[in-house]
Structure 1
């Protein structure tokens, strides 16, 4: 019901895949993608820097392949992860300029990984992927609704993740994207409804438990001097 009300107030199309030209800030990401990639590469290749998503988010365990989908959060549902931001200052500076930023994550997919069909939690958010490391010895792709798309390094893809979507990394290398979630541009009353929904989500175990788990993970790495 909330998603239908939000959709009626949307200032951008409600299609599964949106036009990057409707979001001017994506040009800044594309122009600076190599600086972002350099920071992401160091994280992605480290053994313990980015935890498995299934280890920090119980709600994702049904869809997250164990040890094959790792996530390094800079922001998560409006909460800054200061230890991680300190490791990626250029990326943090760039994503902080995104209007109504909700989350910023290095999404790291191991060779052979498959993320089964799933949907996002609210139409009040839109997702952007910036391709950073895309292996070319196979097929790394994402299905959004009935469309099949492929990432390209330095290019952005914007989509509505409340549409059913599915991901494959059928390559011999690690696929890395910068995953951004930002609040959908809305008129009233959709803006009020979306803000209420996000406030409830941010207070829920869906967000608070992973937030605590990331802090525990980072604290353990410090103890190990990693």
Structure 2
């Protein structure tokens, strides 16, 4: 084969695939916005979801299970160790994650370690992905965007630094701060970034939940979710979590 011939997996091939993938996602986001039954603004009001009080009421139990895990932080992997797709925004051990669900796939080992958290998650309608998201002091998650409007992002504040105004998330042009026991909901397809300018750790329960849609939108989102579930974006983290947990049990 000559040097001029391109092989599958060549950087040009990957760039072309990514280019068309981004175009499709931009188009699908506009389509999903037209069929959404809730706001398509960067920040979404809690009142649009009936499960918010239930999740906030479970704060004490969830926080207790998080605190037990944090006694052994070395057992919690960095985000990019599980999902290499996150290597641009997750560096070193600054952003650790403890996953319960990945696009509907249950991580039994982790759910068994935090049964009260798992029970709450199981009760949330349309819950797709959930994890403890643990951010080190003085770390900045650089601006990025989520892949699909098929879901919306919720955070339950669990461990918030005392100087809470110095730890924040920007979603589009909105700056939000976490509070322990309180939920925030946003559309992660808008550009967002996180900064912790304190000496303390910030931890939240990170959840992706199906966006309420009309009939056409719901059918479309089922296809999108299924495509994501069959991709390496989901399969690699599940495989890496299984490997990590196996090593941890030794």
Shorter-chain TM-score: which interval? over 0.9
Equivalent position to 2:150, from 124, 138, 145? 124
SS in structure 1 at match of 2:41: coil
Contact 1:118 1:165 in 2 (8 A): yes
Deviation, 1:196, is 0.5
- 1:9 equivalent to 2:35? Answer yes
Provide the residue aligned with 2:246 in structure 1. 219
Residue 40, structure 1, aligned to residue 66, structure 2: yes
Task: Tell me the TM-score normalised to structure 2 length.
Answer: 0.87
Q: What is the aligned counterpart of 1:190 among 207, 211, 217? A: 217
Q: Deviation above 6 Å: which 4+ runs of structure 1? A: none
Q: Which has the larger radius of gyration?
A: 2
Corresponding residue for residue 178 of structure 1: 205
Structure with higher helix content: 2
Q: Does structure 1 residue 59 correspond to structure 2 residue 77?
A: no
Q: Write the mapping of 1:112-191 to structure 2, written as runs, cut at 5 A.
A: 112-137=138-163, 139-191=166-218
1:192 positional shift: 1.1
Q: Which residue in 1 is equivalent to 2:11? A: none
- Distance (whole Å) between structure 2 residues aligned to residue 75 and residue 184 of structure 1: 17
* CA distances 1:11-36 after superposition (whole Å, capped 9, x unpaired): 00100001101111010111120111
**Count of residue pairs brought into register by the alignment:** 223
In the aligned structure 2, how far is the partner of 1:37 from the partner of 1:47?
Answer: 15
The counterpart of 1:70, out of the listed 96, 104, 124, is: 96
Segments of 5+ residues of structure 2 without an aligned counterpart are 1-26
Alignment of 1:99-118 (within 5 A): 99-118=125-144
* Structure 1 segments unaligned to the other structure (5+ residues): none
